[in-house]
């Protein structure tokens, strides 16, 4: 059973377009993280959100945690080829818990 | 600072062979993890160690054993490899940050093929 479902699974867009990736669950999370993974490497943390309704911005990336802390979204404005990669959401069900549950991933390709 | 290092990078085994994947971190983190990554499945936790001297099962522990050798090192052993264990294996480490989350730092992965 996958706790976190991401959509879409694959996304191919032209440089300059905007996009949104979704991470959904029926479970409540104490915190949610977004990672980006490039081919041949391990995931790298982009952001952590901990409060329902929280919005965080990282340059052209905007992350939102749902009010009920069951879902999250990642919006990229004016995508660039350097944004290409696998985006993974990961949630923790207990504050301070070691276990992270990872989503299924969204593979983004930005075409120059 | 090397972060998290893993050896080997690539490995091919025959069914029934055994091997140990090595992981080390130099960030003085208490917690360490082993994940496997399969297409369309994201990352699934095999085992984790919250602190030196402790280990716990994750979501998919069957067929694996782990050893937390010291604070720096956490190894994953496959006693009798099976084709279903063909995957990319990632080691990670973390330290709890205030605000309710562990930021995990990942190694570069080991690509294992079992024939």
Q: Per residue in A13-42, pLDDT tens?
A: 999 999 999 999 998 998 899 999 998 899
What pLDDT is recorded for position A2?
A: 61
What pLDDT is recorded for position A1?
A: 55
CA dist., res. B74 & res. B58, Å (int): 15
Q: How many residues would you count in chain B?
A: 115
In the A/B pair of chains, how many CB contacts fall below 8 A?
Answer: 74
The CA-atom distances, in angstroms, between A106 and each of A14, A40, A98, B40, B78 are 16, 16, 24, 9, 30
Q: Are B46 and B34 in contact (CB under 8 A)?
A: yes
For the cut 70, the answer to whether the pLDDT of residue A95 exceeds it is: no
What pLDDT is recorded for position B37?
A: 95
B114 in contact with A at a CB cutoff of 8 Å? no
Confidence tier at A99 by pLDDT (50, 70, 90) = confident
The CA-atom distances, in angstroms, between B107 and each of A5, A13, A43, B7 are 24, 29, 8, 10
Nearest to B42 among A92, A98, A102 (CB): A102
Residues of A in contact with B55 (CB under 8 A): none
Confidence tier at A110 by pLDDT (50, 70, 90) = very high
Q: Which residues of chain B have pLDDT under 50?
A: none
What pLDDT is recorded for position B99?
A: 57
What pLDDT is recorded for position B93?
A: 94
What pLDDT is recorded for position B40?
A: 75
**Mean of the pLDDT values across residues A1-10?**
85
Please tell me the distance in Å from B16's CA to the nearest CA on chain A: 27
CA dist., res. A18 & res. A93, Å (int): 30
Confidence tier at A3 by pLDDT (50, 70, 90) = confident
| DSSP annotation of A68 | T
**Residue B91's closest CA among B78, B71, B73?**
B73
Strand ranges (E), B42-109: 42-49, 56-57, 64-68, 74-78, 87-97, 101-106
- The structure tokens listed for B69 are 């050798």
What pLDDT is recorded for position A30?
A: 87
**Mean of the pLDDT values across residues A4-21?**
96
* Rg (alpha carbons) of chain B, rounded to whole number: 14
Residues of A in contact with B45 (CB under 8 A): 99-100
What pLDDT is recorded for position B98?
A: 61
- The structure tokens listed for A74 are 């990642």
What pLDDT is recorded for position A15?
A: 97
Helix (H) / strand (E) element for B53: namely none
Mean pLDDT for chain A overall: 92
Confidence tier at A96 by pLDDT (50, 70, 90) = low
Residues of B in contact with A45 (CB under 8 A): 103-105
Please tell me the distance in Å from B74's CA to the nearest CA on chain A: 15
């Amino acid at each position: 059973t996958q706790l976190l479902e991401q959509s879409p699974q694959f996304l191919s867009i032209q440089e300059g377009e905007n996009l949104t990736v979704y991470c959904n669950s029926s479970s409540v999370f104490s915190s949610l993280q977004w990672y980006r993974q490039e081919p041949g490497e391990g995931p790298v943390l982009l952001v952590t959100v901990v409060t329902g309704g929280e919005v965080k911005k990282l340059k052209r990336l905007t992350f939102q945690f749902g009010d009920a802390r069951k879902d999250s979204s990642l919006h990229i404005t004016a995508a660039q080829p350097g944004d290409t990669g696998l985006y993974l959401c990961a949630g923790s069900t207990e504050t301070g818990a070691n276990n992270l549950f990872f989503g299924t991933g969204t593979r983004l390709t930005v075409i120059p | 600072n090397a972060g998290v290092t893993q050896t080997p990078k690539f490995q091919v085994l025959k069914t029934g062979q055994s091997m140990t994947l090595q992981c080390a971190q130099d960030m003085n983190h208490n917690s360490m993890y082993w994940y496997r990554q399969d297409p369309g499945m994201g990352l699934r936790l095999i085992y984790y160690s919250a602190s030196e001297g402790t280990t716990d099962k994750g979501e998919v522990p069957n067929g694996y054993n782990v050893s937390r050798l010291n604070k720096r090192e956490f190894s994953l052993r496959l006693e009798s490899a099976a084709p279903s264990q063909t995957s990319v294996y990632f080691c990670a480490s973390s330290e709890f940050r205030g605000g309710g989350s562990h930021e995990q730092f990942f190694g570069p992965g080991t690509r294992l093929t079992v024939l």
